[in-house]
Chain A
Amino acid sequence: MTAPQACAHLARTHAFADGELTGADADDARDHLATCAACQAELAEVLQLDAAVAGVVAGVVAAPAPEVVSLAWYRRRRVQVAALGLAAAAAAVAIYVALPHPGTPDEPGAVAVALAPRRVVEARLAWHGAAAYRTYDVPRAGEPPHESIALMTLAELEKRGDDHGVGVLQLLNGERRQAATHLERAGDSVDVISDRAALALGDNQPEQALRFADAALGKDANHGAALWNRALALRDLGLSRTAAAAFREVARRGEPGWADEARQRAASLDAETDAVQHRFERLNQASVAFTRGEIELSVDDARTMPGFARGILYDAIRSAATPAQLAALAPLGEAIDAADRDTAMTDALARARAALHPALSKPYAEMVRSLAVELQITPAAGDEAPVPSGATRTQFLAALRAAHAGDLLIGALMKLSDDRRVVNRDELAEFAKLTVASPDPWMQLLGLQQQAEVALTQGDLTGAEALLLRAKQRCTEPGAPAFRCILIEALLGQLYAASRRLPDARAALAVAWQTARASGEWVMQDALLERLAGVASLGDDAAAAGLPLVRAYRDELVHRRGAANTIPHPNL
C-alpha cells in the first residue's frame, strides 16, 4: 500500500469518521474527501480498523473478566451498549437492546434485533426494540407483509419472558396469531396497548385498532405510536379528513422520519378527498343546471361518479323531446356504462329513441324545473308553471299511462308523490309493476327500495326487511349499480337499528359506507356518517367500545361541514 502524501486535515477525517462533525463542518469534510487522496486512504483505514475491532470489543463487554473491571463499571457498560443501540436505532436498521439476564442481573446480555432497513407494516410499533423510524415500503400485492426475524432473537426474548417483545417481533414476522397471544399476555402498559392497535390494523380491524389507540392515548395523550396508529385506523375507516388531521398532529411533533411521513400521508389523504369532493360539487352544479334544462355534466365526472350522474341522466332522457337531444346525451351514457361495466344507460337511450313522447317530455321537463324551485334547489325565475297537483297531476299521469311511457311514469310517480321522493301508498302497486317490468337493474332496485320505504313508514319491519334482502340479493348479481346498493344497505342499517339489532345495523352501515367510499359516491357519505355515529352510540357497550367511533364519525362530519353544499337531486 503506497502511503499517500500527508494532509493537514487527517485529524478532521478521524473526527468525521467518528460522526463528530455536523452541519457545515461535516460538509467541509465531505468536500475535502472528494479530492484528497491522503484523507480518503485515512478514512478507509479508520473504517476498516474500527469495523475489525468493533466485534471484538463488543465481545469483551459481553464476557468481561470480573477481576479487571469493577461492578460499577459493568453497569455503566450495560448502559453504553444500550446507547450504541440507540445510535443504531436512529440509523433505522439494527437495534441492540441491553437487557438484564434473569438470575444474573449484573451480567449484561444483549439481545440484538436486526431489522430490515425499511418497514413493511404501516403501523408504528412502541416496543423499544422496533420503535425506531424506518421508511415504509409498500408490500407487493398478494403478499402478507412480513420481515424475517432471527429465531434466536425470538427464543432469547421468550426465555426472558418478554411477551411484548416476542409479540411485536411475531407481528413483524407475519405470525399474527402468535403475536396476538403474546401481546395478550404482555400486560396493559401504554406501549402494549398501542402495539395491539398496530396488530389490529394489520388484521384489517380498524374499529378495534381505533379503540386500542384511543385507550392508549387515554393513558398518555402524547404517545407517538398511538397517535400514529389512530391516524391509520381513521384512514382505514374511510374517515379521510379526520385521518389527515391526525397525521398533521403527528407531523407537528417533529419526530425524525415520522413527521415527514405523516406530512406526506396527510397531504395525499387531503388531495384524494379534495378530488372526490370537487367532483361531487361539479356534479351537484350539473344537477342544478339540469333543472334549468342545461347539461353541464362532463364525461370524466360521469365516469368517476356514475351513480350520481345516472340520477341526472335519467331525468335528462325523460325530458328529451327530440332525437338530437337524446343523441347529445349518448357520450354521457357511454361513460356511465363504461364505469358500471354494463349497457344500462345506452339501452335506456335506445328505448327512449324508439318511443319518443315530445308531448309528454316537455311537461316532464317543466315539472322538474318547477320542483327545483319548490324544493329551493334553484331560485324562482317567475315563469314556472306550478308543480302539477290535483286534477293536473291526475291528467298528466293518465297521459303517461295512455302512452305507455313507463320510464317517464316511474319518474313522475316519485316526484309527484306527497313527499316528492317516496311513491304514494295508493300508487305503490303500479310503481312496483313498472319497475319490475323495466329491463334496467337500477329501476328494479329502485322499485324494491321504494316498497321497503313505504313498509318502513308503516312500521312493517318484517315486510321491509324481506324487500331489502331481495334487493340485496339482486345487488350481488351482475349489472347492479353500486349507488342503489349503497342506499339498500343504508336502509337495512336503519331498519336493524330500529329493531335494536345493533350488530346487524353496524355491519350493514359499514358495508354501505365502504361501498360509498370505494365508488366515490360522496353524496350519501354525510348521511351515512350520521347514521354510523348514531348506531355506534347505541347499546350497552357504547361507553367502552362505541365512543371512540362516535367521536371519529362526528369529527369527520365536522371536518366536512361547510366544505360541501349537499343538495340531493330529487331523483335520488
Chain B
Amino acid sequence: MACAALLTTGEPAWDGGCPVTVVERAFAQAVREHEPLLTGIARRLCGNDADAADLVHDTYERALRAWDRYADRGNLRSWMVAILNNLFIDRCRKTRRTPKTEAIDDLELAAPEAAAPPAWTNVTDQQITVALATLGAEFRRVYELHALGRSYDEIAVEMKIAKATVGTRLIRARKKLKDALLREIGGEA
C-alpha cells in the first residue's frame, strides 16, 4: 500500500524500498495527469476525503497490476475511470447496509478486472466539441457549467431555472451527447 501512495509523488521515494521497474515508472508517469480527475470523481462518489483517497489508491494498485494487459494506451483516462468505477461498485456491495443475500464468495469474485470502457469513450477532443455543438444552447450551457464543477444550486441561480430542471437537463444533455458521439464513431445511436 505504501508503494501505491508514492505512485505519483516522484522519484527518490520510489527507490526507498518499493519495487521499481521500468513499467512502474512509466505507469506513474502516465497516470499522473489523470489524478485530479480521478480524485474529483472519487470524492463525489465517496462523500469524504479519506475514502476517496483510498479509492484512488486502490485504483492505482489495480491499474498497475493490469498495466501489461492494457493494450490501448490511447485512452488511459477512460480505462482508469472504469477501474475506479468498478472498485467503487465493489465497495458499495461490501458495505451495503441492507442484509446481503449473495454469498460472500460471490461478492469477492465480483471484484472486477479492469473492464474495457465503452467504445464511445474513445473519442478525440475534436469529436467531443462537435458533439457538444449538437446540444441545444440551454442543455449545453447547463452541461458546461456542470463540467466546470458547479453545483445544481449554482447552475440554477446562474440560469434562473429550478434546481430540479438542472438535474433533468443534465440527464437529457448526457443522453444527447452520448448519442451524438455514437453517431460520430459510427456506432448505433
Contact = CB atoms under 8 A, between A and B. Distances in A.
B157 to A, nearest CB: 11
Contact of B178 (A49, A84, A90): A49
Given A31-B98, A52-B123, A143-B16, A91 B82 contact: no
Nearest to B97: A31
Contact of A48 (B82, B132, B151): B82
Contact of A61 (B92, B93, B129, B148): B148
Nearest to B56: A117
B114 interface: no
Nearest to A145: B13
Contacts of B47: 19, 22, 26
Given A40-B89, A59-B125, A116-B9, A83 B150 contact: yes
B4 to A, nearest CB: 10
Interface string A89-100: 011111010000
Given A52-B77, A55-B125, 6 more contacts: A34-B96, A35-B96, A58-B148, A83-B149, A96-B36, A148-B10
Contact of A140 (B13, B44, B78): B13
Contact of B144 (A48, A60, A96, A133): A60
Interface in B139-189: 143-152, 154, 158, 167-168, 170-171, 174, 177-178
Contacts of B113: none
B174 A49 contact: yes
Contacts of A17: 44-45
B92 A93 contact: no
Contact of B143 (A27, A53, A118, A256): A53
Given A48-B81, A81-B148, A114 B9 contact: no
B131 to A, nearest CB: 9
Nearest to A54: B147
A43 B148 CA distance: 19
A256 B43 contact: no
A83 B50 CA distance: 21
A95 B85 CA distance: 23
Contact of A117 (B57, B82, B92, B129): B57
A92 B81 contact: no
Contacts of B150: 80, 83-84
Nearest to B125: A56
A18 B146 contact: yes
12 contacts: A1-B118, A16-B44, A48-B82, A48-B117, A56-B129, A83-B148, A91-B39, A94-B36, A117-B35, A120-B9, A120-B13, A135-B53
A48 B178 CA distance: 10
B63 interface: no
B11 to A, nearest CB: 7
Contacts, number: 192
A30 B98 CA distance: 11
Nearest to B149: A84
A174 to B, nearest CB: 9
A52 B78 contact: yes
Contacts of A27: 97
Which of B84, B150, B154 has most A Cβ within 10 Å? Answer: B150
Interface in B24-49: 32-33, 35-37, 39-45, 47, 49
A139 B13 contact: yes
A117 B53 contact: yes
B80 to A, nearest CB: 9
B17 interface: yes
Nearest to B174: A49
A30 B92 contact: yes
Interface string A142-155: 11001110000000
B125 A34 contact: no
B64 interface: no
B2 to A, nearest CB: 8
Which of B13, B57, B84, B118 has most A Cβ within 10 Å? Answer: B13
B25 to A, nearest CB: 12
A56 B128 contact: yes
Contacts of B147: 50, 53-54, 57-58
B151 A20 contact: yes
A564 interface: no
B89 A88 contact: no
A1 B188 CA distance: 10
A88 B36 contact: yes
B41 A51 contact: yes
A354 to B, nearest CB: 52
B21 interface: no
Contacts of B145: 80
Contacts of A375: none
Interface string A308-342: 00000000000000000000000000000000000
Contacts of B49: 90-92, 133, 256-257
Interface string B84-107: 110001001101111000000000
A77 B167 contact: no
Nearest to B94: A34
Nearest to B37: A51
B12 interface: yes
A1 B187 CA distance: 11
B40 A91 contact: yes
A87 interface: yes
Interface in A31-90: 31, 33-35, 40, 43-61, 76-77, 80-81, 83-84, 87-88, 90
Contact of B36 (A33, A34, A80, A114): A114
B40 A31 contact: no
B127 to A, nearest CB: 9
B84 to A, nearest CB: 8
Which of A14, A45, A61 has most B Cβ within 10 Å? Answer: A45
Contacts of A56: 125, 128-129, 132
Interface in A243-271: 256-257
A31 B100 CA distance: 11
Interface string A104-136: 000000001010111010000000000001010
A60 B132 CA distance: 11
The 10 closest A-B pairs by CB, nearest first: A148-B10, A94-B36, A84-B149, A19-B44, A93-B39, A116-B9, A34-B92, A57-B147, A91-B43, A140-B16
Contacts of B35: 93-94, 114, 117
